[in-house]
Structure 1
Amino acid sequence: MLMVWFLLIGGLVQCLLLLRLLRTGRRLDRESRQQAPWRRRWPSAALIVPAAGEHPMMEAALRSLLLQDYPGLMPVFVTATAEEPAARLIGALRKEFPALRHVVAGRAEGCGQKNHNSLAGVAAAGDAVELLLFCDSTHLARPDFARHLAAPVAEGRSDFSTGYHTVRPRDASLVTLAYAFCVQLMRYLQGLTPSFTQPWGGAMCMRRAVFEHMGLRRFWQENVVDDCSLAGLLAGLGKPVVLSPGALLYTEAEHHSFRVWRAWMDRQVLFLKFCVPLQWLLLGLLPLVMMLPPLAMLWAVVGMALGAVPVWTGLIGLCLAAWLLLLLHGWRCQVCAPGSLWRWLAAFVLSAGVFAEVYLRTIPAGGILWHGIWYRVGRGGRVLEVRRQ
Structure 2
Amino acid sequence: PGRDSGQSSPDGRQPAFPKAAVLVPLTGTASGMRLCLESLLTQDYPDYETVFITRDLEDPATFLIRDLLTHHRQARHIISGPAQSCSQKNHNLLAGIGVLDNSVQVLVFCDSTHLAPKNFLQELIRPLAQGEAVLTTGFHHILAGDFRLATLGMLLTVMTIHLLLAVKRLAHPWGGATAILRQVFEDYQVARVWAETVVDDFTMGPHLLRAGIMVKAVPGACLTTPMAGQTMRGWVAWLTRQLMYLKYCLPGTWVAAALGMYLLAGPILLAGLAALGGAVGLVSPGLALMGLLFLLILTGVGVLARSLTPRAIPWLPWIAAFYAALLVAPWCYLKTWATDIIAWRGTSYRVTWGGKVTEIITNP
CA RMSD of aligned residues (A): 2.0
Asked if structure 1 preserves the Cα contact closer than 8 Å seen for 2:107 and 2:182, the reply is yes
The one-letter code sitting in structure 2 at the alignment partner of 1:335 is T
Distance in structure 2 (CA, Å) of the matches to 1:327 and 1:374: 38
Q: State the structure with bigger RCO (CA 8 A, min sep 6), 1 or 2.
A: 1
Are 2:23 and 2:51, in contact at CA under 8 Å, matched by a contact in 1? yes
Larger relative helix fraction: 1
After TM superposition, the score normalised by the length of structure 2 is: 0.91
Which string of whole-angstrom CA distances, capped at 9 and with x for unpartnered residues, describes residues 158-198 of structure 1?
2111111111112111111111111111111111x211001
* Partner Cα distance (1:36, 1:134) in 2: 23
CA distance in 2, matches of 1:149, 1:294: 39
Alpha-carbon deviations, 1:271-323, whole Å to 9, x = none?
Answer: 11111111111222333222222334334545555483354x55544444333
Aligned partners of 2:18 and 2:47 also within 8 Å: no
Match of 1:220 in 2: 194
1:206 to 155, 170, 180: 180
Instruction: State how far apart, in whole Å, the 2-side matches of 1:258 and 1:316 are.
Output: 31
Alignment equivalent of 2:344, drawn from 353, 356, 370: 370
Give the match for residue 122 of structure 1: 97
Identity rate, percent? 36
> Given the alignment, which residue of 79, 86, 91 partners 2:61?
86
2:17 corresponds in structure 1 to 42
Task: Note the C-alpha offset of 1:336.
Answer: 4.3
What TM-score, normalized by structure 1, do the two folds share?
Answer: 0.85
Counterpart of 1:8 in structure 2 is none
Structural mapping, 1:348-359, within 5 Å: 348-359=322-333
Pairing 1:96-245 to 2, within 5 Å after superposition: 96-191=71-166, 193-245=167-219
What is the one-letter code of the residue matched to 1:195? Answer: R
Question: Partner of 2:3 in structure 1?
Answer: none
Tell me, what secondary structure is at the counterpart of 1:68?
Answer: coil
Question: Is the Cα–Cα contact under 8 Å of residues 22 and 50 in structure 2 kept in the other structure?
Answer: yes
Answer yes or no: is the 8 Å Cα contact 1:169–1:338 preserved in 2.
no
Contact kept? 2:15, 2:129, Cα under 8 Å: no
Note the residue ranges of structure 2 that are not aligned, 5 or more in a row.
1-5
Counterparts of 2:165 and 2:185, CA distance in 1:
23
Q: How far off its partner does 1:366 sit?
A: 1.6
Deviations 1:341-369 (A, max 9, x none): 23222212222332222222211312211
Pairing 1:344–2:313 present: no
Alignment gaps of 5+ in structure 1: 1-34
8 Å CA contact 2:16, 2:129 repeated in 1: no
Q: How many residues align?
A: 353
The 3-state SS of whatever aligns with 1:274 is helix
